[in-house]
Structures are given as structure tokens and as C-alpha cells.
């Protein structure tokens, strides 16, 4: 088989297209100033942080009831009583409960009452250990009271309960014969009954919140109004069995959100024992000190600017601030940072009586200053009556403080932001004592401390402290290494059975001689440890508890999550999202051999398949935990801009943009001339003068990828030297026509055209021979555009003449355009044909499975079996013009078998099946044949001076041996030199020079053969071969092999030299055969001889 291959060389042309202070007060449950560094995880699980605490007074057990609320929804209650097992001081409440109040569980006694509000709004109540009973529904909060009178223990038979509904209505039930329900009648109620608005005698509505003043007084707060049920504030709602509107007692407010109540201490319900000798009776003054926050300002019922009235007998039972009818301003910015220390407090049950009850107030201000007023610090525990209402600065840079006012301690403990602990106060010494003094029970230091004095320990190791807490007689200091130092007047040591991450203080849960704060350590393991001096006891039944803001070190860490994007060059950009807990963020580009710190998104610049490994790490201090690796396989196909490109090439005022190896199907090319930007579609002609010209490469979205700018000076043409026209050949349209255009400078002369070496047609006569149009963009450019038939091999030439001189000729050759479809298999092995490369038109797409015998319209995937040949025809449905009509081989099936059985070609005979009684196999004569598809050496465009340029063409050979003889065969190729048609001899300005490119410029890369049918032999001689006049074997079959149908892919590469050899020249030429001249514009032809012969 002989094949003449031609290609054309032409001029280049392209188409376009304060650190924050955290305060913990002396009696605050937990809010650490500094946290030991835990490690966050992206998704914490199996633990809860302390979100907050609530305190209520159990009037039956006479103790503070503390509940700890965790971020995971759990509520941990502190068991009340003094005789509890030392390892069972906590209980986990029902996780379905929103709020729980329990009374009477004291010293192991049975619970007398429990109120439980469930998350679904059910209100359950239990009395006298009866089962919990549903008493109301759709409840958002509850309150309770015993309406018998002041200073009485709660009696279940007279208890009343109140439920707040989401709609703002209030219902009451229980004991009501004293008028305590507020329903308008003095009678008990077993069913919830609406509470009455005293102003309208209609049901009360708009209530936003309950405030439990104490066990026998409740406030009902609306947006702007306050109602009371009880006998507080010198009025009695029981008398008329209706709430009392007490709004006038408070500053005006418009939202219930701006009305709050709290305590300046956490041990709510505290009262002391005091002897009134004049009346010969013992009384129990109530020492609670409440504050109201209204519109952001603070008020109290007990005046903090005056000595405490606790020793003044008021009423039958002693002082109670709820008898007050006046509010006093509290001069603080945040009551959460304030505490009231009570001097000379003796709990009920002590053998001794209180003799000088008074207050000292402390405020930690937002700038870290700790101030106090009231009884001076040096007199705490030994009140002298020297009450000072002015604030006094105690210390600065404070992050947390504790106050121990009782006589054995009488000290303020301060933690500063330098991690040091200081003490100030009488330190357990009578202020009047001038001797050496006692050793303070919380400091281990002897004598009074008149200035802040460091607590350092005997080994000076009490430093780098991050939290402090105190029980009645021990100070605990948590160091940043997780060790807890224990300090008292009899003991100094440390607790390090586990690494601790926080401390927990719980106020007394009962009254009596042994009532005191208890301190717990929060372990890194999430357990609570009760500190008995230096002996920790782990608490049972509660675990997974951590300080606010702390996240435990996980046992494992999640791997990072990737996201893929692309930069303007279409480089893959990998962004990695690491877990918040990760202290190590790494990735590797060499399969984990080398790890690099991840600091910013990874831009992949290499071409092809790239594998990236990424991992997260966590340095726990003792070891490093790594995540499983994230493995990403990325196929990176960026837009490559070679160094030095684009280039601006100028000759005779004609500017060409050289884009080198840039893939123009993925970019837009623009040219800017003196600030005017336009798409670059062909070389541009500049007028005489200086010009600033830029070549610009943009991506498909208009982002600039590259720019080169040059100043070009176009001088007037030398007389007699004319500029050759610029030509352009367009694509085929649906009428099988192409656009042909030539541009030239009309000031130099007129245009002449020639077709297929015929006569030259002068410009005035052009439209008598060609159909088209012309226009003049400016005085130095005229452009002719014609429509020509798509006749392959047609040659069109143009030149400019002034009647005497003639420019160089511009030659355009009509070459074939390949519109081969692409083939692939879908998930069901059906054949999908991709026609996306067809030009614009109304095309009918058809296929044939019998070599063109019958055609079928292609409308979607088709089931054609395995590797049958398929013929494709594309034609214009209106004109019948055939764009392509060509046979192809279908791709392999998707199955695991690399050589699946082919489908049955109907021309190959009849299939023999097991159903035949007698199998008769007729061997018919076959043949040895080959087909060669797809070789197209595209137009070569002269770009600049290179040693060579390269073009590629992907082809295939189909070989069939159906002779049945098994002789073997050899498939070979030889080619001749590429000899040009007559090209321009610049010396004579004639087109009679013939040049050639050697055949060795062409090489072929033979790929592995695909077996379409027959014996599974590898017949291709894979490898790269330089071609020439000698036959080069491309495929070969040994005897008794290669009997079947084979597809052999081949990649041809043509190296175009910058110079060519002269074959012949016209008369008078300066060149002769054998000379080397520069690469010429023109058509070059070579004869390809394919041989398929039996034997080897």
C-alpha cells in the first residue's frame, strides 16, 4: 500500500478564545482563671465541660443544693449530708430532665420531696417517697413555697407549686387554705389552677420568668411588671389569696430579660446562731445577701455602705433582708466578680455563738484590680467595728482570689497573672495580739500578713499556678504541670496521682459544726477526686467532666479533609482542613518519605498523576499521635506557558504573536496596540510610526496568564520593496465551503490572486472570479474575504504589485480537516460515540455495523458487543454533504478480561452451537490484509528560529490474517524524503525553488497491539524507529501466530528543521542542489510504502 503524505508550512496564525480575665470568687463553684492546655478535637465526644452551676437552699436538710450543668446535657448533683460515703458525693441526674429540685435527702435520710421538670415540659412531683406523679404539662419553669410563715421548716402537707407555661400563663396547685396559691380563693387545689392578676381579677398572663426569693416567696416577672406571692417586702399576698404588684419597688424596666436576681455568695440559705442576752433568747438571723440587676445596674436589699444589721434584733426571729422595702445601689460593674465575706460566722450546731457578724466585700475589676470595702481585711474574723464604705485597692494583675474570713484563717488568697500566689490578712491571728502569732491554716505562714505575701512552699515550688481553691483548712494550688500543691498550717505536699486540669469548690451542703467547703480535683482522665488533705478519693458514678473551655487530649485524631480547586493556570490547588486539635499539620509529595509542614494551600505544578499524603498530629507532651494518612491521587493538567512566551514578531510592520507550545484550545490570545485591546485572530498590520504592542494570554475566565510588551517602530517601506499580503483559511461550513481572506497595504499597490497555478487575477477583476467582499479598516489595510469550495489540495496564492515591483507570494493550501469522533464504553459496556468536535451545522450522525451496507442514526449508547468494526458517517441533513465517512474499531469492553471474546462479524460465517447433532466446520478461503488510519501531519507554522519544531499524529494499523495457513507475516513501512512543491526563491522573487526535508525527520513509536479477534499474540514490534528508504518492520508474527485481527496504535513525530536542502533551482538562482536554505513556505510530499508479506 502506497500513501502520499503532504503537509504545508505557513506563517503562524491562531484563533482566539488579655488575654481575657476570668474570675473565680471565694465561693464560686468553678470558673478557672487559667486553664492547663488541653487539646481540641474536631468532634468531642464522651465528655462534658462545666457550663454553669445553680444553687438552691434545701430548707428540710438545711444546706445548699448545688447542681453542675455540663455541655453534653448532663446535670451532676452534689449529694447533701455529712455521713455520705467518701467516694459517692455526686449523682448524675436524669438526662431527660431540664431542672430538678430535691429536698430532705440529708445524712442518708430518705428524700422527702422532689420536683422534676422534663425536657418535654412535663412537671413531675414526688412527696414522702411516693412515685413521681405527673402534675402538669407544657411547663417551662416551676416554683414552690410553704405558706405557713417565716423561719419554719417546709411541711409537705402545706406545700404549694407553681408552673409557668410557654404562653406566659401561671398555674398553681397544692396547699392553698392560707391563700398561698394566688388563685383568688383560700382552698387547696389538686388540679393546676390559673393564678389571678390582682389588677384586673383575670388570669395573669405575660409572665416571662419565676424568681425564687426563698422557700416561701416567689416573684412573677413580666415585661415591665413584678408580682409577688408570699410575705416578703412587708406585704402579705396570702390575705387576699392574690399576688401583689410590687413593680413600684424597683426601677422601671421594659423587658424581663433586664430583671435578674442573684446572690453575693453561693451558700444560699445560710443563717447564724446568735444570743440576745437582753431578751434571754437565741435567734437565727438570715444572712443571705441578694442582688438585683435591673437594666444593667445593681441593687441590694442590705446596704453595703453601712455596717451589717445582723446583730440588731428585728422581728421575732432576727434579721431578714426580705423584710426590706428599699433597694440600695451596689457600686460594682459586674456582680459575678463580687463576693461577700461574712466575719465571725458560727453555723447552727456550733457550740459557740456568733458575737460580731459583719461583712467585707470584694470586687475583681475588669482591669485586674482587686478592691474591698466594709470590715478591713486585717480585722476579718475579729470585727472591730471600723467599717469603711470606700473601696481600697488590695492588689493588681489578679486573675482569681479566695476569701476565708473565719478566725482560723482570716485571709485573702490571691492568684496573679504571673502564676504566683499571695496572701493578705490577719492570717488566723487576733489583730490585738502583738506576739509572734499563729501559723495560718491556709498559708503555712506564721503571723499577720499586712501586705501581699507570697505563698511559696518549703521548696519554693508553688509557682506557675493556674488555679486555686480552698476548703476549711487546706489551700490547693494547681500548677501548669498538672500537680496540685496542698498547703495548711500542719501540712505541705502535692497530689500527683493523675494529671489535674482544674479544681472544683463546692459550698457546704449542710449546716453544723463540720459544715465547710469541699474541694475536688478534675483529672485529665475526666474523673473527680475529693481532696482529704493530700489524699485524693476518686468519685464513683460520674466521669467525663472537664473545666469550661478545656477539651481532653483524644486517644486518636482525625485525618485532615481535602478540598480541590484550581488556580488561573488550572494547576490543582489542594486545601487541607486539619482538626482543631492538631498541633502538627504535615503533607508529603513522595509517598510519605519526607513530610513538610502545611502552612498554606498546596499548588501542584508538575504535569500528570500526582499523589499527596497528608496527616494530622497531636503532641500530647509525652508522645505524638498521628492520624491515618489522607491519600489524594490528582491528575494535574495545567495550562503551560513556556519560558519566554508569548513573543512578538514583527516584519515590515506586520506583527505576529508567537505562542510556542501553549495549548490554544484552553486560552484566549489578545493583542494590545497603543492601549486598544482586541482578540488576536491573525497578524496585524501597523501604520508607520512608534507603537506600544502587548501580547496577552488569558484563561477561559479572562484571568491574565502572561503578557509581553514591546515598543515597535515601523519605518516607511523601502521604495520598490512591497509587503506580502497576509492570508487566512477558515474551517469547513455545512455547505462544504471555507472562508479565504487576504489583507494587504493598498498604498503600496494592488492585489493579485492565483488559483491552482492558473493566471494571476488583478484586483479590479477579482470579484468576477470569486464571491466575497472587501473593506478597508484604515488607509494602510484592505481585506478581501471569499467563500471557496472545500477542494482538498487546492492552492491559492496572493501578491502585491505596483506595476513594476512584485511582493513575495503568500500561499494557502486547502488541507483536510479530520473530524474523527471519540469512542468509549459506559458502565453497561454500551458504545458511546462522542461527536463534540464537529463544526457548527445541522449534522446527521449515522453508524453502520456491516461496512456501510446499512446505516442507522446515532441517538445514544448502542450495544454492539466487543471489537466489531463500525463505520461512521456524518452528513448535512439538508444538503446531503458528507463531512466524514470512515470505519473505526470499537474500544475494549470494561470487563477484567483484557482480551474479551469479540462479537460475531456476520461476514465470518455461522456460529456452531451445542444444539447441533453433528458439528461440521467448513474452512473457507481467507486473506491477509491491512488498513492504515488517521495519519495527518497538520500545517506547520513558522514561528521563530528553532533548531527544529515538532508535530505529532496518532494513527493505527488494522491487520488481519485469516488465511488459515499460519505462515506468519511481516508489516513494514518505508518513506521517501519530503520534497516541496515549487517555493519562493527570495533572490529572484520567483517560485521555482524546490527543497526537501530528509525522511529521517519522521519517527514512529509503535505501541502494544490490541487483539480484536483470534490468537492472543503480541505482534507489534513496540519501540521508537526513525524512518527512511529502508523498510522498517512495525509488526511481525512468527509461524502459527498472528492469526486473527489486530489493532496497532502508532504515534508519528515529525521534527521540522529550521533549514532545508535545495533539490533544484531556476535559471539565474544563487542556489544550487545541495545548498542549505531557511525553511520555506509551501507543500512538502513524501511517499509512504506499507508492506504486508507472508513469512518473516
**Residue 369 in this model has a pLDDT that exceeds 80:** yes
Q: Which of 491-495, 772-776, 1008-1012 has the lowest mean pLDDT?
A: 1008-1012
Please tell me the predicted confidence (pLDDT) of residue 603: 94
Q: Shortest CA distance to 206 belongs to which of 242, 172, 169?
A: 169
Q: Which of 334-338, 446-450, 514-518, 567-571 has the lowest mean pLDDT?
A: 514-518
In sequence order, the β-bridge partners of residue 170 are 164
Q: pLDDT tens for residues 975-1030?
A: 889 888 888 777 677 788 898 988 888 888 898 888 877 778 889 998 888 888 88
Please tell me the predicted confidence (pLDDT) of residue 944: 39
Q: In which band, very low, low, confident or very high, does the pLDDT at 398 lie, cut at 50, 70 and 90? A: very high
Is-contact 124 88, C-beta < 8 A? no
Please tell me the predicted confidence (pLDDT) of residue 1011: 81
* Of 327 and 888, more confident: 327
Q: pLDDT tens for residues 202-245?
A: 999 999 999 999 888 999 999 999 999 999 999 999 999 999 99
Q: In which band, very low, low, confident or very high, does the pLDDT at 1086 lie, cut at 50, 70 and 90? A: confident
Q: What is the mean pLDDT of residues 423-433?
A: 84
The most confident of the ranges 146-150, 201-205, 579-583, 709-713 is: 201-205
How much is the mean pLDDT over the chain? 82
Burial of 405 (0-12, 13-18, 19+ CB in 10 A): buried
Q: What is the mean pLDDT of residues 858-863?
A: 90
Please tell me the predicted confidence (pLDDT) of residue 928: 59
* Gap between the Cα atoms of 1008 and 988, Å rounded: 51
Q: What is the mean pLDDT of residues 65-83?
A: 81
Is-contact 362 279, C-beta < 8 A? no
Please tell me the predicted confidence (pLDDT) of residue 210: 98
The most confident of the ranges 88-102, 548-562, 627-641, 655-669 is: 627-641
**Residue 30 in this model has a pLDDT that exceeds 70:** no
Please tell me the predicted confidence (pLDDT) of residue 930: 64
Please give the distance of CA 110 from its chain centroid, rounded to a whole number: 54
**Residue 345 in this model has a pLDDT that exceeds 70:** no
Please tell me the predicted confidence (pLDDT) of residue 195: 98
**Residue 366 in this model has a pLDDT that exceeds 90:** yes
**Residue 60 in this model has a pLDDT that exceeds 90:** no
Please tell me the predicted confidence (pLDDT) of residue 823: 82
Q: Which of 312-321, 449-458, 854-863, 1036-1045 has the lowest mean pLDDT?
A: 312-321
User: Hey, how many other C-beta atoms are within 10 angstroms of the C-beta on 996?
Assistant: 18
Q: pLDDT tens for residues 941-989?
A: 444 334 445 555 667 788 888 777 778 888 888 888 988 888 877 767 7
Percent of the chain's residues with pLDDT above 90: 39
Please tell me the predicted confidence (pLDDT) of residue 656: 84
**Residue 141 in this model has a pLDDT that exceeds 80:** yes
Please tell me the predicted confidence (pLDDT) of residue 108: 40
Please give the distance of CA 992 from its chain centroid, rounded to a whole number: 69
**Residue 20 in this model has a pLDDT that exceeds 90:** no
Q: pLDDT tens for residues 715-724?
A: 876 677 788 8
**Residue 584 in this model has a pLDDT that exceeds 90:** yes
* Of 41 and 595, more confident: 595
DSSP 618-680: EE-SS-EEEPPPEEEEEEE-PPP--TT-SEEEEETTEEEEE-TT--TTSEEEEEEETTEEEE-
Q: In which band, very low, low, confident or very high, does the pLDDT at 288 lie, cut at 50, 70 and 90? A: confident
Please tell me the predicted confidence (pLDDT) of residue 38: 40
CA separation, residue 14 to residues 519, 637, 645 (Å): 82, 22, 14
What is the pTM (predicted TM-score) of this model? 0.53
CA separation, residue 524 to residues 264, 418, 504 (Å): 31, 23, 14
Please tell me the predicted confidence (pLDDT) of residue 867: 58
Q: In which band, very low, low, confident or very high, does the pLDDT at 271 lie, cut at 50, 70 and 90? A: low
**Residue 597 in this model has a pLDDT that exceeds 70:** yes
Percent of the chain's residues with pLDDT above 70: 82
Is-contact 754 744, C-beta < 8 A? no
Question: CB within 8 A of 305, min separation 6: which ones?
Answer: 328, 389
Please tell me the predicted confidence (pLDDT) of residue 209: 97
Amino acid at each position: 500500500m502506497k500513501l502520499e503524505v503532504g503537509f504545508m508550512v505557513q506563517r503562524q496564525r491562531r484563533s482566539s478564545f488579655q488575654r481575657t480575665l476570668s474570675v473565680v470568687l471565694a465561693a464560686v463553684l468553678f470558673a478557672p482563671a487559667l486553664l492547663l492546655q488541653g487539646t481540641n478535637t474536631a468532634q468531642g465526644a464522651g465528655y462534658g465541660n462545666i457550663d454553669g452551676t445553680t444553687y438552691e437552699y434545701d430548707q428540710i436538710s438545711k444546706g445548699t443544693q448545688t447542681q453542675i450543668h455540663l455541655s453534653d446535657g448532663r446535670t451532676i448533683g452534689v449529694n447533701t449530708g455529712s455521713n455520705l460515703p467518701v467516694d459517692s458525693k455526686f449523682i448524675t441526674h436524669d438526662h431527660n430532665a431540664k431542672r430538678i429540685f430535691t429536698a430532705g435527702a440529708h445524712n442518708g435520710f430518705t428524700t422527702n420531696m422532689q420536683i422534676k421538670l422534663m425536657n418535654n415540659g412535663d412537671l413531675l412531683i414526688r412527696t414522702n417517697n411516693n412515685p413521681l406523679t405527673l402534675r402538669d404539662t407544657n411547663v417551662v419553669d416551676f416554683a414552690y413555697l410553704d405558706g405557713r410563715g417565716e423561719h419554719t421548716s417546709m411541711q409537705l402537707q402545706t406545700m404549694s407549686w407553681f408552673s409557668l407555661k410557654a404562653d406566659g400563663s401561671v398555674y398553681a396547685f397544692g396547699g392553698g387554705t392560707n391563700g398561698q396559691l394566688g388563685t383568688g380563693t383560700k382552698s387547696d387545689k389538686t388540679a393546676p389552677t390559673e393564678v389571678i392578676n390582682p389588677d384586673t381579677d383575670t388570669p395573669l398572663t405575660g409572665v416571662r420568668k419565676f424568681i425564687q426569693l426563698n422557700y416561701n416567696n416567689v416573684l412573677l416577672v413580666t415585661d415591665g411588671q413584678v408580682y409577688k406571692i408570699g410575705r416578703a417586702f412587708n406585704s402579705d399576698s396570702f390575705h387576699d389569696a392574690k399576688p401583689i404588684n410590687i413593680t413600684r419597688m424597683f426601677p422601671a424596666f421594659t423587658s424581663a430579660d433586664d430583671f435578674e436576681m442573684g446572690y453575693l455568695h453561693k451558700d444560699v440559705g445560710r443563717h447564724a446562731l446568735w444570743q440576745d442576752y437582753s431578751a434571754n433568747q437565741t435567734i437565727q438571723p438570715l444572712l443571705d445577701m441578694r442582688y438585683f440587676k435591673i437594666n444593667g445596674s445593681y441593687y441590694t436589699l442590705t446596704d453595703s455602705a453601712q455596717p451589717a444589721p445582723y446583730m440588731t434584733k428585728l422581728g421575732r426571729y432576727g434579721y431578714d433582708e426580705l423584710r426590706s422595702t428599699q433597694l440600695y445601689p451596689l457600686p460594682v460593674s459586674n456582680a459575678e466578680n463580687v463576693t461577700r465575706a461574712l466575719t465571725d460566722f458560727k453555723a447552727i450546731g456550733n457550740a459557740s455563738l456568733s458575737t460580731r457578724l459583719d461583712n467585707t466585700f470584694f470586687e475583681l475589676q475588669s482591669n485586674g484590680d482587686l478592691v474591698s470595702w466594709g470590715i478591713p481585711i486585717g480585722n476579718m474574723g475579729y470585727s472591730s467595728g471600723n467599717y469603711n464604705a470606700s473601696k481600697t485597692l488590695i492588689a493588681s494583675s489578679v486573675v482569681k482570689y479566695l476569701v476565708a474570713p473565719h478566725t482560723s484563717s482570716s485571709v485573702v488568697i490571691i492568684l496573679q497573672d504571673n502564676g504566683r500566689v499571695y496572701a493578705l490578712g490577719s492570717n488566723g491571728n487576733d489583730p490585738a495580739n502583738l506576739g509572734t502569732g499563729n501559723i495560718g491554716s491556709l498559708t503555712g505562714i506564721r503571723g499577720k500578713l499586712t501586705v501581699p505575701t507570697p505563698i511559696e512552699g518549703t521548696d519554693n515550688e508553688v509557682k506557675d499556678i493556674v488555679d486555686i481553691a480552698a476548703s476549711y483548712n487546706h489551700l490547693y494550688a494547681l500548677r501548669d504541670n498538672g500537680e496540685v500543691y496542698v498547703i495548711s498550717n500542719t501540712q505541705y505536699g502535692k497530689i500527683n496521682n493523675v494529671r489535674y486540669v482544674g479544681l472544683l469548690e463546692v459550698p457546704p451542703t449542710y449546716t453544723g459544726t463540720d459544715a465547710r467547703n469541699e474541694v475536688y480535683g478534675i483529672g485529665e482522665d475526666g474523673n473527680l477526686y475529693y481532696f482529704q488533705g493530700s489524699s485524693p478519693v476518686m468519685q464513683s458514678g460520674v466521669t467525663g467532666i472537664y473545666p469550661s473551655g478545656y477539651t481532653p487530649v483524644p486517644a486518636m485524631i482525625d485525618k485532615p479533609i481535602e478540598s480541590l480547586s484550581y488556580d488561573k493556570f488550572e494547576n490543582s490547588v489542594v486545601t487541607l482542613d486539619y482538626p482543631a486539635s492538631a498541633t502538627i499539620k504535615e503533607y508529603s509529595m513522595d509517598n510519605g518519605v519526607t513530610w513538610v509542614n502545611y502552612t498554606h494551600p498546596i499548588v501542584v505544578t508538575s504535569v500528570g498523576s500526582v499523589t499527596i499524603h497528608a496527616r494530622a498530629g497531636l503532641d500530647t507532651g509525652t508522645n505524638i499521635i498521628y492520624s491515618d494518612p489522607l491519600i489524594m491521587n490528582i491528575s494535574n493538567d495545567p495550562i503551560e506557558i513556556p519560558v519566554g512566551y508569548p513573543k512578538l514578531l514583527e516584519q515590515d510592520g506586520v506583527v505576529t504573536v508567537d505562542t510556542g507550545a501553549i495549548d490554544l484550545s484552553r486560552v484566549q490570545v489578545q493583542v494590545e496596540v497603543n492601549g486598544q485591546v482586541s482578540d488576536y485572530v491573525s497578524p496585524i498590520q501597523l501604520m508607520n510610526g512608534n507603537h506600544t504592542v502587548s501580547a496577552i494570554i488569558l484563561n477561559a475566565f479572562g484571568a491574565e496568564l502572561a503578557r509581553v510588551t514591546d515598543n515597535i517602530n515601523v519605518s516607511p517601506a523601502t521604495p520598490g520593496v512591497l509587503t506580502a499580503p497576509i492570508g487566512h483559511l477558515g474551517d469547513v461550513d455545512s455547505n462544504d465551503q471555507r472562508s479565504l481572506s487576504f489583507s494587504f497595504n493598498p498604498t503600496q499597490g494592488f492585489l493579485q490572486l492565483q488559483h491552482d497555478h492558473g493566471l494571476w487575477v488583478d484586483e479590479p477583476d477579482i470579484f468576477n472570479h470569486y464571491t466575497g467582499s472587501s473593506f478597508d479598516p484604515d488607509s494602510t489595510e484592505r481585506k478581501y474575504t471569499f467563500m471557496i469550495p472545500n477542494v482538498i489540495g487546492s492552492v491559492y496564492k496572493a501578491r502585491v504589485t505596483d506595476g513594476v515591483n512584485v511582493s513575495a507570494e503568500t500561499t494557502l493550501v486547502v488541507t483536510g480537516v479530520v473530524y474523527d469522533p471519540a469512542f468509549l464504553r459506559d458502565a453497561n459496556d454500551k458504545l458511546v460515540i462522542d461527536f463534540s468536535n464537529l463544526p457548527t451545522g445541522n449534522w446527521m450522525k449515522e453508524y453502520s455495523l456491516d461496512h456501510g451496507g446499512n446505516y442507522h442514526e446515532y441517538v445514544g449508547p448502542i450495544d454492539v458487543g466487543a471489537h466489531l468494526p463500525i463505520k461512521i458517517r456524518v452528513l448535512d441533513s439538508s444538503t446531503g454533504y458528507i463531512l466524514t465517512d470512515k470505519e473505526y474499531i470499537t474500544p475494549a469492553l470494561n470487563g477484567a478480561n483484557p482480551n474479551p471474546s469479540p462479537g460475531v462479524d456476520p461476514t465470518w460465517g455461522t456460529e456452531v452451537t451445542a444444539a447441533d447433532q453433528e458439528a461440521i466446520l467448513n474452512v473457507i478461503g481467507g486473506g491477509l490484509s491491512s488498513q492504515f488510519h488517521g495519519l495527518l501531519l497538520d500545517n506547520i507554522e513558522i514561528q521563530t528560529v528553532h533548531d527544529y519544531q515538532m508535530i505529532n499524529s496518532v494513527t493505527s494499523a488494522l491487520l488481519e490474517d485469516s488465511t488459515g495457513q499460519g505462515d506468519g507475516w511481516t508489516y513494514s513501512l518505508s518513506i521517501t524524503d519530503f520534497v516541496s512543491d515549487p517555493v519562493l526563491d527570495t533572490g529572484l522573487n520567483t517560485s521555482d525553488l524546490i527543497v526537501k526535508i530528509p525522511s529521517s525527520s519522521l519517527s514512529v513509536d509503535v505501541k502494544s497491539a490490541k487483539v480484536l479477534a483470534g490468537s492472543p499474540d503480541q505482534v507489534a514490534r513496540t519501540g521508537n524507529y526513525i524512518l527512511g528508504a529502508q523498510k522498517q518492520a512495525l509488526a511481525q508474527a512468527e509461524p502459527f501466530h498472528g492469526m486473527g485481527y489486530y489493532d496497532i496504535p502508532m504515534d508519528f513525530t515529525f521534527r521540522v528543521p529550521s533549514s532545508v536542502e535545495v533539490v533544484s533551482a531556476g535559471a539565474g538562482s544563487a542556489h544550487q542542489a545541495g545548498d542549505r536554505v531557511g525553511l520555506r513556505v509551501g507543500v512538502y510530499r513524501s511517499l509512504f510504502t506499507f508492506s504486508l508479506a507472508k513469512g518473516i
